Amino acid sequence: MSKRYKLYEGKAKIMYEGPEPGTIIQYFKDDATAFNNQKHDLIAGKGVINNRISEYLMTKLTEIGVPNHFIRRLNMREQLIHEVEMLPLEVAVRNVVAGSLAKRFGLEESTQLQRSIIEYYYKSDELGDPLISEGHINCFGWATNQEIDDMIILSLRVNDFLVGLFLGVGIRLVDFKLEFGRWHNSNEEVQIVLADEISPDNCRLWDIKTNEKMDKDRFRRDLGGVKEAYQEVARRLGVLTEINNIDLNNHNSLSVQDGLA
Ligand code: AIR
Ligand code: ASP
């Protein structure tokens, strides 16, 4: 494989310079981290599964007009994306009480919320991603009020769409985290677009009948069966049908052209 320029390496992904200006290659690693990197492991095949799930969901979101950074999948672990200026924010959308919301307010997990809640976190490993308000975002110059409005509208549209999509395959979308970026589009305009990934790494997904967790909480809470749960999400969505359990361990960046993707 030819040498490529690595732009950035995160906990679960690596960004390489793309083939054309304004493009980036997003590589999905098998690394799983939680609690600010205190917990770390490799889940063989996780990157392959997340690449496919995120491709599927971003493509669907494009179809309903939610602007996002996804261009196309390149191979088992990589996708081509638009280069965007990432906002240093995590936007969490919650439909059901779980995780840090349950902890913060001493609430029982699994209580359905009367309306969806949007929360913002400042992305900073050193500070442990603190919860922030729109006031902080605006005052510290992380996004304008217009950009905050755009993120809210997009987040709620994504939520409505994904709740229905997952319900259709027997999964409750409890909560999830989105990240946004500024994209300088072809008309020289700057637009807020959805970026990063949407996968079981950043959604809480519970089986509708059994409430079994099918997401990264299996890793965070040492429940086991992480890869199997991610695979089941992929299977229900109808993606990654050609790959079986064993194959997943061996796939690196095999290209679509090799007929293996
Ligand atoms: N999330 C937040 N930071 C990183 C991730 N992946 C996601 C979680 C969960 C939602 O945001 O996976 O779906 C809310 O997380 P929490 O921990 O605030 O309850
Ligand atoms: N930012 C955290 C991490 O990946 C989120 C989590 O606990 O999953 O380390």
- Domain of 122, CATH number, reads 3.30.470.20
Whether residue 178 sits in one domain with residue 90: yes
Q: Is the minimum distance from the CB of 100 to ligand 1 under 6 angstroms? A: yes
In a domain, 170, yes or no: yes
Is residue 81 within 8 Å of residue 69, measured between CB atoms? Answer: yes
End residue of a domain, out of 192, 207, 222: 207
User: For the sheet containing 6-9, what is the strand order?
Assistant: 6-9, 13-17, 23-28, 78-82, 70-73
d(CA 252, CA 244): 15
Residue 43 lies in a domain: yes
Distance of CA 13 to the CA centre of its chain: 11
| DSSP sequence for 88-136 | SEEEEEEEE--HHHHHHHTPPTTPEEEEEEEEEEE--TTTT--EE-HHH
Q: Give all strands (DSSP E) within 108-215, no chain letters.
A: 112-122, 131-132, 171-184, 190-195, 203-207
Tell me, in angstroms, the distance from the centre of ligand 2 to residue 36's CA: 5
User: Is residue 258 included in any domain, yes or no?
Assistant: no
Indicate whether residue 34 lines ligand 2 (CB < 6 A): yes
Position 241 scores a pLDDT of 85
Which residue range forms the structural domain that includes residue 165? 85-207
| Statement to judge: residues 100 and 194 lie in one domain | yes
The finding on whether 29 has its CB within 6 A of some atom of ligand 2 is no
Same-domain pairing of 138 and 198: yes
What is the number of residues in the chain?
A: 261
Mean pLDDT by 10 residues, the chain (261 residues): 86 97 98 93 98 98 98 98 98 98 97 98 96 98 98 98 98 99 92 98 98 98 98 97 64 45 32
For residues 144 and 44, membership in a common domain is answered with no
**Residue 255 pLDDT:** 45
Examine residue 144 and state whether it is found in any structural domain, yes or no: yes
Domain count, the chain: 2
- Do residue 64 and residue 122 come from a single domain? no
Q: Please work out whether the CB of residue 90 comes within 6 Å of at least one atom of ligand 1.
A: yes
| Same domain, yes or no: 92 and 78 | no
Give CA separation, 261 vs 49, 54, 251, 254, in Å: 12, 15, 9, 7
Same domain, residue pair 78 and 102: no
Prediction pTM value: 0.94
Q: What is the pLDDT of residue 257?
A: 37
Residues 148 and 166 in one domain: yes
Q: Please provide the distance, in angstroms rounded to a whole number, between the alpha carbons at the two ends of the chain.
A: 17
Pocket test for ligand 1, best of 173, 201, 202 (most atoms within 8 A of CB): 202
The verdict on residue 215 lying in a domain is no
Shared-domain flag, residues 29 and 43: yes
- Domain annotation covers residue 250: no
Residues 130 and 72 in one domain: no
Give pLDDT, residue 61: 98
> Exposed (0-12), middle (13-18) or buried (19+): which is 196, by Cβ within 10 Å?
buried
Work out the angle at residue 76's Cα, subtended by the Cα atoms of residues 54 and 220, and round it to the nearest 5 degrees: 55
Judgement on whether residues 96 and 189 belong to the same structural domain of the protein:
yes
Q: What is the CATH number of the domain that holds 241?
A: 3.30.200.20
| pLDDT score for 185 | 87
Paired with 178 in beta bridges are 91
Based on the domain organization, do 19 and 111 belong to the same domain? no
226 within domain boundaries: no
115 in a domain, yes or no?
yes
What letter would DSSP give residue 87? -
Strand partners, 69: none
pLDDT given for residue 32 in this prediction: 98
Is 33 near ligand 1, meaning CB less than 6 Å away? no
